[in-house]
Amino acid sequence: MNLKLLYPIIISTLILRCYNKNNFENNESSEKEKIIKFSDARKAKLVDSWKRIHDCDLDYKNLYNTIKNNNPYDNYLKIENYKWIYFKTYDSTFFERADQLKTLCKIYENKRIVSIAFTDIYTYKDAIHVINFKKPEYTPISSFLLYSLGGDAEDFWEITPEKISSTKFRLTDIDAYYNDIETMDTTFYNYKIVSQIEIDTISGNIKKKRISEERNFFKVEK
């Protein structure tokens, strides 16, 4: 038989096998999620609610109002009821500390992981905290602050994001103070660090790369 005539058949067979394999893996993942039984009823209810939350459509220039509009002080996840989330974020290099979480929206999801954005409130802290969970057990794997704003009198600190893709962000982290709390005409920076952060879509871990760093400089605002 002419080999040229066989090429389309071979290619079609390979494509069909890949499709069937991917379809099988997706169905297997869905079925696996269905049969997971959580011993913690609160966790089961929370995970079920996450399966219905909307994808994030954040206004990156107005994230402070996004936090306030989520009513972060009402019906938040209490530490004593959700230790499986909070305790993972304490004293770990893979997490930022969580203080008062309330579900906001879904940043990213595939068959292996899901990345959930929460509002996270504490004294001198208004933040959007992204936590990555491994499916189907919904084990916390890593986390980062997508946005954070805090301050005390003339001192302030802030993390502001720029979205590159659904799993990659550029974060600018500053720690600074004003020369005068009333005029705010000059800002003195202790540091300004720009980093790129990316969610690994297979493991759920965080890849972080520092882009630039400046320390001890000032900027005249007016």
CA angle, corner 75, sides to 71 and 80, nearest 5? Answer: 130
**Bond into 136 cis (ω within 30):** yes
* CA dist list (Å): 99 to 75, 86, 90, 129, 156: 14, 7, 10, 10, 19
CA angle, corner 35, sides to 30 and 38, nearest 5? Answer: 120
Of 185, 183, 188, nearest to 157 by C-alpha is 188
3-state secondary structure of 5: helix
SS3 percent helix, strand, coil of the chain, rounded to 5, is 25, 45, 30
Predicted confidence (pLDDT) at residue 9 exceeds the cutoff of 80: no
Beta-carbon neighbour count of residue 113 at 10 Å? 23
Phi-psi region of 124 (alpha: psi -120 to 50; beta: other; left: phi over 0): left
> Tell me, what's the pLDDT at 19?
53
Lowest mean pLDDT among 92-106, 160-174, 178-192, 198-212: 178-192
> Whole-angstrom Cα distance, residue 200 to residue 6?
39
Alpha-helix runs per DSSP H in 36-121: 41-50, 63-69, 83-86
Structure tokens at 20: 């069937």
Tally DSSP H helices, then E strands, for the chain.
Answer: 4, 8
Query: Tell me: the pLDDT tens digits for 33-81?
Result: 556 788 999 999 999 999 999 999 999 999 999 999 999 999 999 999 9
> Tell me, what's the pLDDT at 125?
94
Beta-carbon neighbour count of residue 178 at 10 Å? 18
Average per-residue pLDDT for the chain = 89
Query: Distance between the two ends of the chain, CA-based, in angstroms?
Result: 82
Q: How far is CA 77 from the centre of its chain?
A: 17
| pTM of the predicted model as reported, rounded to 2 decimal places | 0.83
